[in-house]
Structure 1
């Protein structure tokens, strides 16, 4: 057992908390809590989860997470963030122009000049064509032609059945009604609370409540109803072919979503992505509540 594990376990016991109670408080599975106390980090879903779980554990037992990380940094495995400078250097070293690219850059000014020249020719041609068209449109129309057209229009109006006119009016009214219905059915998702690692939304003007959780990397997630009933709990992992789950929650009026690793988690409501639900900068736990206000 590591020194960090001993310290966390002693703090938990001092609080009088069992592993089951700690699991309920942090929403971290019991086997992961045991792994943290024993220093067995290989059983975690990923390296980035180790810090997130230790942080939640420390907060739950009254310890300062930053102090814990500083004092026991030799025991905690490095996360993927520490590899970023090395990856950036490799990308920059590969970013060079080939001889073919250099030749293209030499010809680029000539190509641009040619495009501009062609554009000017087309513009001049369009201007003259438009001027000729305007002059032709200004030519006077004989009175005889006007009277003929007027008489033909009157004949067409007189021959149109009255019932057909009424039918067209009814169809127009129906189309207006359909457009109004479509306007009313546009769903509205608004933010009513933004507390950093906690977001609250209201969903209105929607006849359904479909929730999809997706991940770009491994992320532990859970969904509970407003009454506290567990709807789903598990780890979504794209590498294992289980990157998303979809739920029809139209019978619920409120749900709570917890994501263990916010940057890798995405939320969709009725097929539309909720952009700010899980901030990329929050590497810890993120809580999202959605209240479904059904249309009357």
Structure 2
């Protein structure tokens, strides 16, 4: 007879409570049913799309577009069905790796610093130059026509009606500045050939985006509102995640990307110095 633990005592212990715990989506679904609400009711009250409500209740958080959006949807749906969102958020973080570390300030500043500067024509300098030319022309004409002016004065003194001198210099017309040229694709996203440059513009709506350099360092992680634009640059590679690719227009290394991204689609993209083709 042996003394000590039997082989059965050394078997791994299974945490039954973890296995039996209700998932986040299931908890929200049960609370909604208990509150007597339909998915349409919850969607109308929270303005969260019906498809996303169904996906969350099925524990599918991919349509949310990222952890930030997922936490926000969980909090909104929990309040709509009258449950405390804090435990559900904690459970989501535990099951999906916890909250991401805050984005370092230095990469954000670096992304802003390397943004290609687009300078338009200096219309102020052009107008000043045009005014100087006009003033010089008027002064020269007045000096040259001094003798003609004295003859006109003599005629007035003698009682003769002064007539218009056809040889008088015409009134100079103010030059009209040329129409401002429309910027080309290369001017919109100018990029050096020894680096990869990616410009992300939210032209069709807002979208969450994430951008990392070739070392995996985070350059940006946040929401672009409609009309916003971000430019990222690296020596070899830029990795992107687009939460709503249909709202985004991309320029890579000075060229427009013509991929027809679908609205609401999540896209993971990588671009290098040799693109615009996806690396």
TM-score grouping bracket, smaller chain normalisation = 0.3 to 0.5
Normalising by structure 1, we get a TM-score of 0.32
Q: Which has the higher helix share?
A: 1
The structure number with the bigger radius of gyration is 2
